[in-house]
Amino acid sequence: MEHALLNRRFPTNSDEYKLYEEIGEGVSATVYRALCVPLDIMVAIKVLDLEKCNNDLDGIRREVQTMSLIDHPNLLRAYCSFTHGHQLWVVMPYMAAGSALHIMKTSFPEGFDEPVIATLLREVLKALVYLHSQGHIHRDVKAGNILIDSNGAVKLGDFGVSACMFDTGNRQRARNTFVGTPCWMAPEVMQQLHGYDYKADIWSFGITALELAHGHAPFSKYPPMKVLLMTLQNAPPGLDYERDKRFSKSFKDLVATCLVKDPRKRPSSEKLLKHSLFKHARSAEYLARSIVDGLPPLGERFRELKRKEAELLLNNKLGQETKEQLSQKEYIRGISGWNFNLEDLKNAAALIDSSNGTCHIDARDNKSKDDSQNAHNAPEHIYQERVNHVSSGMPEEDEIQEVEDLNDALSSSFPSRPLEALKSCFDVCGADDPNPTAADSRVQQNVGSVPVLQFPKIEHCRSANCNGESLERSVSVPMNLGTSGHHKHSSGSLIPEQVLSPYMSADLERDEFRQKNPSNRNRSGPLLFRQMKDSRAHLPVAPEEPSEGKIIRRRGRFQVTSDSISQKVAASACNSSRTNLPIGVTRQNLRPSAILPTLQFLMQQSTMQKEVLSRLISSIEETSDDSEASTSGSIQSCGGPLREKELQSYVVQLQRSVTELVDEVQRLKLRNNQLEQQINALSRKDERPLTEDNQQR
Ligand SMILES: Nc1ncnc2c1ncn2[C@@H]1O[C@H](COP(=O)(O)OP(=O)(O)OP(=O)(O)O)[C@@H](O)[C@H]1O
C-alpha cells in the first residue's frame, strides 16, 4: 500500500493541495496536515521558508534528497517536493499520531512502558541499520523525530541535520557549528576532536531510550552549555536501579551498552538489533492499541502544547524565567539544530550560575573520569556511579559547572589533548584548510574510490536570497548577556509572538542580528549521492566494530573566526604549567573571581605562618635565655644548643616558605590584574557594537 503510494505521481503544484491545521513546528519548518486533492490522500506538508534559510540551502537540499532517496519502511520518505513562492514544500506521509514526544507530552508524561519502548526502539534501530548501511548518519535521533501513524507504524523522520559518511573535502570542513540537539548529542560530537561516525547515532539512540522511559531526556532542563559540560564530564546517564525498578535488566543493559563514552566500545546498529530487549518488542497493532488509540487529533494536541508553552512564558514574563524553564521551552519545541558559535557559548556560559564559586566537581563525577569507565557502565554499577541527572528534582548545586571546566571535561572524557580541542573550537580555520589531516585524506582517498553520482542542484534554492536564520537553531539565551546587535525571532517557536517573554523578544533581537550578520556557516558544496547498491563494499567506514579510523569529520564545524581572544586568553591561562601554581590553584579556577579565594587563603596562610614564626622566635629567645642563665645540668646544656639549631633551621625553612608564598601571592595578584584588564578590554569591545547598533537605530 505504502509502496504503491510512493510510486504514485504526487502533484508538484500547491494548488493541488488543501492545507489544514498546523501539526508540527521545527527549527526550519512548519508542518501542516493537508489533502492531496487529485489523489484524495491525506498528507503532511513541511513548509520551509527559504528566505529564512540563511546560507543553509545545501542542508535543505540534502534533507530533501535524502528523504526522497531513502527506501525503508521505518524511514519517513518524501512523496515529492516543490517550491511555492519563497517556500519549499515537502510532501510526505501523514503520521496521524504525531511524534513519540507529542504522545508522551499528551498522555504519558512519565514515559512509556517497556514493551512500548522496546517496540519503538526496535523500529528506530531498523531504520538506523539501513541508514548506516547506506553511509548515512542521522545525527538527530530523538523521540521528537520518531513518528507514528494511526496503525502504529513507526518511522524515523527529520533528516535536516543528517550527514553522509562520504561527506568530505570542503563540505566536511566548512561547517562551523556542530549539529544535533545537545541532550542527545554524543560526547565525541561535542568534543570535535577525533571526528565522529555512525556511533554518534548509537549514543543518541541510548538517550532516546532514556527519554522514552522517563518522558524527558537526561539533562533536558539545563541550558545547552551545561548539558555539554555534563555530558563530557559526568558518567554517562543510565537507568537507575532504585528509581527505574519497573524496567528489566535487559533494558538497563541496552541503555548502558549504548551510552559508553568511547564510541569504539558502542555496538553497531546491526549488532544492537540482536539485543535481548527486542525479544520483548511487539507489533504495530500493539502500539496502536496501547499508545495511539484514544489520542485526541494531532492538530488539537499540537495546539494544546502551544497553549501550555504560551502559559509557561506568560507566567515567567518580566525576566523571571529561569534558565531551566528556558531550556525546557526549547525541549518542548523539540528544537534540533543548535548553532554553537562563540556568542552563544559566551551567553550560555553566562547563564551558568557562577555563584558556586570555583570549579565544583562532585566527587561522584570524578568517577566518570576513571579509566575503567566501561566497568562503571555495567548496569549494576550505574546506580552507585551515576549522578542522578535524570531526576528533575536534582539540586541545582550538584550540577553547576564553570565554563572553564570544559577543558577538564574534554581531557577527562578522552585521552586526547583537550586544549587542542578547544583550539579547534576557537581558532580561525577556514573552509579551505590547506592541511587536511591524515584522517581527512584517508577519507578522501576512500571516497575517491566510490562511484559518485552528482545530482543536479535545486535551482530555486540557489536563487533564493537567503540571509536569515539557518536550519540550525541557535542557543536561546537572553541577549542582554553580552551579545551585541539586534536579533530576529527565529522560526520554530510554538507560541504566538505577542506573548513572548523578555527572553523571547531578546531571541527575536538576536535573530535580527543574525539576519544582518549571517553566520559563516556554509554548507556549500555539491550534493553528492553515491550509488547505493554496493555502497557497503566501498564504505570508507564499514559499520563494523571497532569504529576507529572511521572519521567523517575532524574539525572546523565548531570554529569561531573572530572575537576569540577571550577564549585564547583562557586557553593560555589553562596552558600555564600546573607546577607554577600553588596547591589549590588549578587551571580551571585561573580566573579573576576564581583566584581571589585562593589568594585570600594564601594570605591567611602566610599570616598564620608569621604567627607561628614569631611564637617560635620568642620560644627560642626564651630557650637561649634559659640556657644562658642555667649554670648546671649537663643534659640541659647539651640539649639546649641542639634544639636551638633545630629550631633555627625550622625558622629558616618557614621564612623561606613565607617568602615563597608572598611571591606567589604577588604573582597571582599580578596575573589576576592582567586577566581583569583583558576581560575589561574584551567586554568593552563586546559592548561597542551594541552601542553603535543602538545609535544606528
Ligand atoms: N509526516 C509527519 N506527520 C505528522 N507530523 C509530522 C510529520 N513530519 C513532522 N511532523 C511534526 O512536525 C514536527 C517538526 O517537523 P520536523 O522535525 O521535520 O521539522 P524541523 O524543522 O526539521 O524540526 P526540528 O529540526 O526542530 O526537529 C515534528 O516534530 C513532528 O511532530
What dihedral do alpha carbons 171, 175, 178, 180 form, nearest 10°?
-60
Q: How far is it, in rounded angstroms, from Cα 523 to Cα 290?
A: 42
Distance 72 CA to ligand 1 centre (A): 18
**Please, which residues have CB within 8 angstroms of residue 140's CB and are 6 or more apart in sequence?**
158, 160, 161, 162, 179, 180, 181, 184, 204, 336
Distance 139 CA to ligand 1 centre (A): 15
Q: CB pairs under 8 A, 24+ apart, for 188-191? A: 188/263, 188/414, 189/139, 190/228, 190/231, 190/232, 191/232, 191/410, 191/413, 191/414, 191/421
Q: Which atom of ligand 1 is nearest to the CA of 29?
A: 21
Q: At which residue does the C-alpha cell 522560526 appear?
A: 491
Q: Helix crossing, 224-233 with 342-351: angle to 10°? A: 80
pLDDT at 100: 97
Confidence bin at 120 (pLDDT 50/70/90): very high
- β-strands 136-137, 163-164: how paired? antiparallel
The DSSP 8-state label assigned to residue 267 in this structure reads P
Q: How far is it, in rounded angstroms, from Cα 512 to Cα 212?
A: 36
Ligand 1 neighbour 95 (Cβ under 6 A):
yes
* pLDDT higher than 90, residue 96: yes
Best of 31, 45, 74, 146 to mutate for ligand 1, by most ligand atoms within 8 A of CB? 31
Ligand 1 neighbour 29 (Cβ under 6 A):
yes
Distance 460 CA to ligand 1 centre (A): 23
Position with higher pLDDT, 423 vs 635: 635
pLDDT at 295: 94
Closest C-alpha to ligand 1, atom 30: 24
* pLDDT higher than 70, residue 147: yes
Confidence bin at 366 (pLDDT 50/70/90): very low
* pLDDT higher than 60, residue 332: no
Residue 261 annotated as binding?
no
Ligand 1 neighbour 28 (Cβ under 6 A):
yes
**Please, which residues have CB within 8 angstroms of residue 663's CB and are 6 or more apart in sequence?**
none
Confidence bin at 125 (pLDDT 50/70/90): very high
127-144 mean pLDDT? 91
What DSSP string describes 131-166?
A: HHHTTEE----SGGGEEE-TT--EEE---TT-EETT
Judge contact between 275 and 250, C-beta under 8 A.
Answer: yes
pLDDT at 283: 97
Position with higher pLDDT, 5 vs 284: 284
Range with top average pLDDT, 50-54, 303-307, 678-682: 303-307
Range with top average pLDDT, 229-243, 265-279, 537-551, 607-621: 265-279
Q: How far is it, in rounded angstroms, from Cα 350 to Cα 477?
A: 9
Q: How far is it, in rounded angstroms, from Cα 352 to Cα 331?
A: 18
Q: pTM for the whole thing?
A: 0.53
The beta-strand segments (E) located in 13-114 are 17-25, 29-36, 41-49, 80-84, 87-93, 98-99
196-219 mean pLDDT? 92
Ligand 1 neighbour 43 (Cβ under 6 A):
no
* pLDDT higher than 90, residue 111: yes
Range with top average pLDDT, 206-215, 313-322, 478-487: 206-215
Q: How far is it, in rounded angstroms, from Cα 302 to Cα 309?
A: 11
pLDDT at 621: 62
12-33 mean pLDDT? 91
* pLDDT higher than 50, residue 294: yes
Report the percentage of the chain scoring pLDDT > 90.
26
314-326 mean pLDDT? 54
Range with top average pLDDT, 134-143, 216-225, 489-498, 593-602: 134-143
pLDDT at 561: 28
Q: How far is it, in rounded angstroms, from Cα 127 to Cα 208?
A: 14
pLDDT at 26: 77
Region at 650 (left for phi over 0; alpha for psi -120 to 50; beta for the rest):
alpha
> Would you state the cell numbers that stand for residue 636, as one nine-digit string?
640541659
User: Which residue in 88, 560, 597 sits closest to 360, CA to CA?
Assistant: 597
Range with top average pLDDT, 220-234, 268-282, 426-440, 555-569: 268-282
Q: Which of 49, 56, 58, 140 is catalytic?
A: 140
459-474 tens-digit pLDDT: 333 333 333 323 233 3
Ligand 1 neighbour 431 (Cβ under 6 A):
no
Distance 106 CA to ligand 1 centre (A): 16
Residue 140 appears among annotated catalytic residues: yes
Confidence bin at 368 (pLDDT 50/70/90): very low
Q: At which residue does the C-alpha cell 579551505 appear?
A: 432
Position 560, amino acid: V
pLDDT at 128: 96
pLDDT at 231: 84
Q: Which helix (H) or strand (E) holds 452?
A: strand 452-454
User: Which residue in 494, 439, 482, 500 sits closest to 193, CA to CA?
Assistant: 439
The DSSP 8-state label assigned to residue 274 in this structure reads T
Q: How far is it, in rounded angstroms, from Cα 660 to Cα 112?
A: 62
382-410 tens-digit pLDDT: 323 333 333 333 333 333 344 444 444 43
Best of 99, 179, 300 to mutate for ligand 1, by most ligand atoms within 8 A of CB? 99
Q: Helix crossing, 565-575 with 634-696: angle to 10°? A: 170
Q: How far is it, in rounded angstroms, from Cα 321 to Cα 164?
A: 39
Q: Which atom of ligand 1 is nearest to the CA of 142?
A: 27
* pLDDT higher than 50, residue 314: yes
669-680 mean pLDDT? 82
Q: Which residue segments constitute the domains of the chain, with CATH numbers given? A: 12-93 (3.30.200.20), 98-303 (1.10.510.10)
Per the prediction, the chain carries an average pLDDT of 62
Candidate from 577-581, 649-653, 670-674 with smallest mean pLDDT:
577-581
Judge contact between 530 and 537, C-beta under 8 A.
Answer: no
Examine the predicted complex and report whether its ipTM is higher than 0.90.
yes
Judge contact between 26 and 292, C-beta under 8 A.
Answer: no
Ligand 1 neighbour 335 (Cβ under 6 A):
yes
Phi/psi at 93 (5° precision): -60, 145
Beta bridge partners of 474: 339
Distance 168 CA to ligand 1 centre (A): 28
What DSSP string describes 603-640?
A: HHHHHHHHHHHHHHHHHHHHHHHHHHH----HHHHHHH
Ligand 1 neighbour 24 (Cβ under 6 A):
yes
pLDDT at 564: 33
Neighbouring CB atoms inside 10 A of 491's CB total 20
Position with higher pLDDT, 182 vs 611: 182
